[in-house]
Structure 1
């Protein structure tokens, strides 16, 4: 008795059904994988800021409750130094940016000073609040803000993710976000009423684009917060806790402005000399 063996094959319809199922699964799973990747990057960024926060607190404890200077120029060497240099000894993590053959700025290009969601190699992916870290770019400054001067440490921003521009020499490369940029309504489509006290200029800061300032040293989007992680911005607060803040929930009056400290910042850094939109 002979048994016939017939080769079986998928029909065209069966192949199309399989392909359709694979396509549907891919459409469902790929966004999930992308979200998981973004969550991992956000977690890494939060970890970076926690380490920066620990280093910042250690610095404050070692220097009579005073915060590090945001940035200044050494009167002898003419070299710039910033808050990244100040807290680097407590971290020893990160690749420095060579400002000159003898000066390195530890605030970018890898390590805890760099957000994994922004791989571009430029300095200053995180910024410090000038209210706690002034003077601003002065020669051999003698004082900075103290912890006791912060009225609500759990609400006041210490460090957060800041903006970017296409030119490394422009203001996004400064190791701070300028307080004046927060209070500058030109990019926000709003108007700051000069008759309203600073404490009540409660605009929500949700600008989230890359752009250049008109010239080196002028305010621009580089000083604004960036919402790189599913429309949230990772923020380190003065009391040391780190939080992912949704876009639109950061405000000048509640989170940035610190009574008594903002008024001590040099006028140029406050943005007094910067007019409306360019």
Structure 2
């Protein structure tokens, strides 16, 4: 026979001990889940900023072929009919497989981008152009020269467009008045209640509402 007298019987957890373990796990989960959620949102914010930065590059390519000028936000013909939006002018510069990705913002439902009218060149977008460059004329004034800016590093050209839940898309232009920030059509949807903004020189910042100054929005002579 095997002598089992040397073995001790292992004691199981009591109910109180199990409840204590469960409570500790719940506390840890309560700490980790918000942290994980915040990390994920920060990552999505960085991805959206990268998308916006890419549009800065395409604006530079466009300007190189158009005498240093950028497209206005929208343009109409002599009948007042809209003929294009800023993104329609830039899409041809974008690799076909990247078009939807770069129009999207992962901090919006399903990225919030889709082809419109089943076209390869017309898309909804999560980014909006400064309404100050939304000249609506049928002439070369569809374009505006970056030379009109005193300091391109301080002028916001594109920003996170306001999300419209009914239309499931974002505004194509934005306005922002620091004196009436509640009326802003910039969407402060990024981590920390911030918005990604693209300056006319091509760099991107993620900014709080109160940090966007009037001088970053207006162009001399277009106020």
Indicate conservation of the 8 Å contact 1:94/1:113, yes or no.
Answer: no
Q: Cα deviation per residue 1:119-171 (whole Å; 9 max; x = unaligned)?
A: 2536332111133x3323x4x332122011011211110100021223329xx
What does 1:184-223 align with in structure 2 at a 5 Å threshold? 203=179, 205=181, 207=182
Structure 1 residue 11, shift from structure 2 partner: 0.7
Name the one with the larger strand percent: 2
Distance of 2:180 and 2:96 partners within structure 1: 33
Q: Cα deviation per residue 1:217-264 (whole Å; 9 max; x = unaligned)?
A: xxxx6x61111122111110011110111231113x22101102x15x
Name the one with the larger helix percent: 2
Structure 1 residue 14, shift from structure 2 partner: 1.3
Q: Cα deviation per residue 1:155-199 (whole Å; 9 max; x = unaligned)?
A: 110100021223329xx755222x4xx34xxxxxxxxxxxxxxxx
1:142 aligns with 140
Distance of 2:170 and 2:45 partners within structure 1: 22
What does 1:1-278 align with in structure 2 at a 5 Å threshold? 2-3=4-5, 6=9, 8-73=11-76, 80-93=83-96, 110-119=100-109, 121=112, 123-131=124-132, 133-136=133-136, 138=137, 140-143=138-141, 144-168=143-167, 173-177=170-174, 179=175, 182-183=176-177, 203=179, 205=181, 207=182, 224-229=185-190, 230-251=192-213, 253-260=214-221, 262-263=222-223
Paired residues in the alignment total: 206
Structure 1 residues 65 and 26, CA gap change in structure 2 (3 angstroms):
same
Is the deviation greater in 84-93 or in 26-35? 84-93
SS at match of 2:165: coil
Distance of 1:174 and 1:31 partners within structure 2: 30
Structure 1 residues 135 and 94, CA gap change in structure 2 (3 angstroms):
farther
Distance of 1:42 and 1:174 partners within structure 2: 19
Is the deviation greater in 26-35 or in 223-232? 223-232
Q: Which has the larger radius of gyration?
A: 2
TM-align CA RMSD? 2.6
Structure 1 stretches (4+) deviating beyond 4 angstroms?
none
Indicate conservation of the 8 Å contact 1:124/1:176, yes or no.
Answer: no
Structure 1 gaps of 5+ residues are 96-105, 184-201, 208-220, 264-278
Structure 1 residues 94 and 70, CA gap change in structure 2 (3 angstroms):
farther
Question: TM-score when scaled to structure 1?
Answer: 0.66
Structure 1 residues 94 and 236, CA gap change in structure 2 (3 angstroms):
farther
